């Protein structure tokens, strides 16, 4: 906090890099330290992606790889983090040429936040893959409903039928929201169909 000229205290936020993920405090420095344990990670930055209206944040990690890193580096990093508590496991990894740093080598948090915002926009603009597009373009109202509510709740589109809800940033709270919205929408459809049948 800091004291204003009028004597009141103003909350300015945390000085450390602790964030709340799925209701647990997570130290971003600790996440980065674990990822740096991989021989082919040159630099890394973990960040809590701002959540949706429910305030939920998603942990993501940006990784700069050393020369010679394999194409399966992301899978290797996922395996490396399996020993960490679940809230410390990034929901997404992104390979980038370099991590934004200030002249004193501290993380450039503003540039990283802008980079992540741009990444979110790109993901939202991505077209749904052909298999999902075919299902949604059909008369399968359930698939259409699932895809729409998925995007509303997670902020990203379904990209494949086998997409994992939790790998895309979901958690127990958003899962409850997803199920409730899905049930409400499908019940509304059933009610409309019944009224239509009775009218005819």
116 vs 140, which has greater pLDDT?
116
Q: Is pLDDT of 22 > 70?
A: yes
Q: In the predicted model, what is the mean pLDDT of residues 109-120?
A: 92
CB atoms within 10 A of CB 58: 25
Most confident of 7-16, 105-114, 134-143, 148-157: 105-114
The three-state secondary structure class of 14 is: coil
> What local confidence, expressed as pLDDT, does residue 192 receive?
47
CA dist., res. 45 & res. 60, Å (int): 9
Mean pLDDT value across residues 72-87 = 93
Neighbours of 54 (CB within 10 A): 10
Query: Could you give the CA distance from residue 187 to residue 164 in angstroms, rounded to a whole number?
Result: 24
Mean pLDDT of 59-81: 95
3-state secondary structure of 51: coil
**Confidence at residue 194, expressed as pLDDT on a 0 to 100 scale:** 54
């Amino acid at each position: 906090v800091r004291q204003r000229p009028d004597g009141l205290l103003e909350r300015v936020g945390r000085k450390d890099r602790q964030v709340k993920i799925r209701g647990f405090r997570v130290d971003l420095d600790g996440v980065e330290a674990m990822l740096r344990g991989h021989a082919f990670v040159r630099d890394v930055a973990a960040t809590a992606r701002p959540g949706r209206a429910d305030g939920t944040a998603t942990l993501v990690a940006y990784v700069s790889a050393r020369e010679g890193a394999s194409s399966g580096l992301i899978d290797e990093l996922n395996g490396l983090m399996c020993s960490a508590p679940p809230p410390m496991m990034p929901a997404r990894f992104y390979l980038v040429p370099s991590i934004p740093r200030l002249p004193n080598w501290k993380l450039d948090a503003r540039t990283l936040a802008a980079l992540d915002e741009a990444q979110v926009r790109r993901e939202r603009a991505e077209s749904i893959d052909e298999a999902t597009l075919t299902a949604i373009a059909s008369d399968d109202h359930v698939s259409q409903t699932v895809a729409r509510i998925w995007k509303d709740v997670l902020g990203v589109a379904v990209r494949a039928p086998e997409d994992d809800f939790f790998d895309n940033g979901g958690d127990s709270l958003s899962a409850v929201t997803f199920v409730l919205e899905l049930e409400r929408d499908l019940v509304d459809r059933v009610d409309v169909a019944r009224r239509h049948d009775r009218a005819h």
